[in-house]
Amino acid sequence: MPDISVKVDGLHFDNPFVIGSGPPGTNKNVICKAFKEGWGGVIAKTVSLECDKVKNVAPRYGKLKSRQHGEVIGFENIELISDRPIEVWEKEFRQIKEEYPNKILIASIMEEYEEWRWKELTERCEAAGADGFELNLSCPHGLPERAMGAAMGQNSDMVENVCRWVRGATKKPVWAKMTPNITDITVPASHAIKGGASGIAAINTILSVVGINLETLRPMPTVEGYSLPGGYSCQAVRPIALRMVSQIAREFPDTALSGIGGVECGDDAVQFILLGSHTVQVCTGAMLQGYGMVKHLIEGLESFMEKHGFETIEDFRGHSLQFFKTHANLVEHQIQAKRERAGQANRDNEWDGDSINRQTDQLTSDGSESKKSPASQPQPAK
Ligand SMILES: Cc1cc2nc3c(=O)[nH]c(=O)nc-3n(C[C@H](O)[C@H](O)[C@H](O)COP(=O)(O)O)c2cc1C
């Protein structure tokens, strides 16, 4: 049986599967349910010092379904951070850690851009038993209007300072959660690390409009006739999340990395690990499938490891990163491969009269191969 435990940033996870910050980690009851079902860790719903400023609306979710089978492929939310008081969270963190001392409980925190706020929030969550911190620098809706969330995550100086403030307040792991609503995710990630973050979590949701209701002509989700762009998640975002995770992993190979975005089964999670993630978070998947999905995630991971003969997660973590090259490299590889294939194919009895000139060219090495290769020729537009 392969060992699927993960040691990262001083934390020991039974398995790499972690509930991502959101509804599946929104209070003590659901967090305990997650641990009972077998999740390795939970990132609690993002907490702040002043919950009375958090005013949620309903409805606040929208689904994009596949045309053929109606399966949910994309999910938009305009939900804010936790509307529960920090005092309640402190009490519940303590109770959760008493009940599940060996499970990893990470506090997701967000505040306005003032040092004392981030420090107080960090110290209070740590005193209540949090094993580490995820800094929500990435929520794309509602909070940016208060200069929080993605508004901070899109400003590298702010990212660096917030990470420095939190680093100054705790010795526990500090993971900065990145917004994908940015051109180059490695820029804020580098500032987070410079500020003292020991890990990066990616990605938060992608700013989106899930659709327009063609009866009412109103965008969705519709609240009293109106809407705003919200955060997109679920399987549709996975390719973007994988790309961003790979960029972070290649740039910062020594930093703890938690991959998030569209994970629904073991095979999805394995892809994040192959691109360098130590842990893999799931939010929408757990909302749609329930907490029991972790059993399928574990089965999928174990059967992948058995198939390839991997004994530990470290045996394959980041393995696929080496296969990313520049486009020019791919062209070169293709030229080389064609040359080798031609050499293998051209045994004496394979010469044919009609294409003798092409076969002669293929076997000729005169430095002009790249010019002859169709791969390097401009192709007519289709
Ligand atoms: C309804 C909902 C609420 C969310 N709330 C938070 C939050 O409070 N803090 C946070 O950092 N991320 C929040 N997220 C983002 C998720 O943690 C995650 O980064 C994103 O949804 C992509 O992962 P997924 O496809 O597994 O959901 C929320 C996502 C959803 C769908």
Q: Is the peptide bond between 140 and the residue preceding it cis, with omega within 30 degrees of 0? A: no
pLDDT for the residue numbered 246? 98
Residues of the chain with pLDDT under 50: 369-382
- The CA distance from 325 to 323, in Å, is 6
pLDDT for the residue numbered 55? 94
The counts of H helices and E strands in the chain are 13, 16
pLDDT for the residue numbered 371? 47
Q: Where are the domains of the chain?
A: 6-321, 327-376
User: 142: Cβ below 6 Å to ligand 1?
Assistant: no
51 is catalytic: no
Q: Which of 44, 218, 57, 219 is nearest to 132 (CA)?
A: 44
255-301 tens-digit pLDDT: 999 999 999 999 999 999 999 999 999 999 999 999 999 999 999 99
For ligand 1, atom 19, the nearest C-alpha belongs to: 204
CATH number of this structure's domain 6-321: 3.20.20.70
- The CA distance from 204 to 194, in Å, is 21
With the most atoms of ligand 1 within 8 angstroms of its CB, the residue from 143, 185, 204 to mutate is 204
pLDDT for the residue numbered 378? 39
Quickly list DSSP for 197-216: -SEEEE--PEEE---EETTT
pLDDT for the residue numbered 369? 47
70-97 tens-digit pLDDT: 999 999 999 999 999 999 999 999 999 9
pLDDT for the residue numbered 370? 46
Which ligand 1 atom is nearest residue 260's CA? Answer: 23
pLDDT for the residue numbered 334? 94
User: 62: Cβ below 6 Å to ligand 1?
Assistant: no
Which ligand 1 atom is nearest residue 238's CA? Answer: 25
Neighbours of 335 (CB within 10 A): 17
